Amino acid sequence: MLDHHRPSAQTRAVRPDLPEGETHPRCLEMAETLRDLFAAGGGVRPKDLVGAGFTWAEILEFKDEASRLATESSTRQVSIRPDLMADIVEKARQAVPNRLPLPRDTTQTQALTVAWGKYCAARGALLVDPWPGQRERCIVVLSAYLDRLPIFPTIRKAVLAAVEETLPRVAQ
């Protein structure tokens, strides 16, 4: 009678061609399959891996390492980079209230958000009712916002000039 509780005397052949510390190719393949299956269905069951061509022995041997690799390769570290001058110009041209230009060493504060909101409102008013005073108000309000940012005066002037070019021309 066979004793099912005793470990098998069979051993798996060690791959002599696999350098120490290197991941088994089937483990890498399983990690990629785990990512694909999870993306398609939101979860992965062992029978899904069997259906993808993995044996039960491979699943038992590689599941933990493959899961770790799949998680690591699926996770991205996202950090918001500070706005460069081109970003500041583009954001000022678009004047979207929730997209403040924030260069390096700038934290979004309520005061900055309010100042940016005033510029966006002035820009919107100019588009609805273009007249010389409204155009001038737009530039003054943007200038007040830029004064709050830690940028050089030359950058401030360049941003104002670039934005002024895109404002509607109005007759005196």
pLDDT on residue 55: 94
Q: What would the pLDDT profile of 83-118 be if each residue is shown by its tens digit?
A: 999 999 999 999 999 899 999 999 999 999 999 999
Distance between CA 11 and CA 7 in Å, rounded? 10
Is 139 or 42 the better-scoring residue by pLDDT?
139
Is 37 or 154 the better-scoring residue by pLDDT?
154
pLDDT of residue 171 exceeding 90? no
pLDDT on residue 149: 96
| pTM, full prediction | 0.55
pLDDT of residue 8 exceeding 50? no
pLDDT on residue 18: 64
Determine what percent of the chain falls in helix, strand and coil, rounding each to the nearest 5: 60, 0, 40
Residue 12's identity, in one-letter code, is: R
Residue 62 contacts residue 72 (beta carbons within 8 Å): no
Distance between CA 42 and CA 51 in Å, rounded? 16
* Average predicted confidence (pLDDT) for the chain: 86
Residue 25's identity, in one-letter code, is: P
Which residues, including other chains, have CB under 8 Å from residue 122's CB and lie 6 or more apart?
134, 137, 138, 141, 142
> Which DSSP state fits 162?
H
pLDDT on residue 37: 84
User: Among 75, 99, 77, which Cα is nearest to 89's?
Assistant: 99
- pLDDT over 90 for what percent of the chain? 60
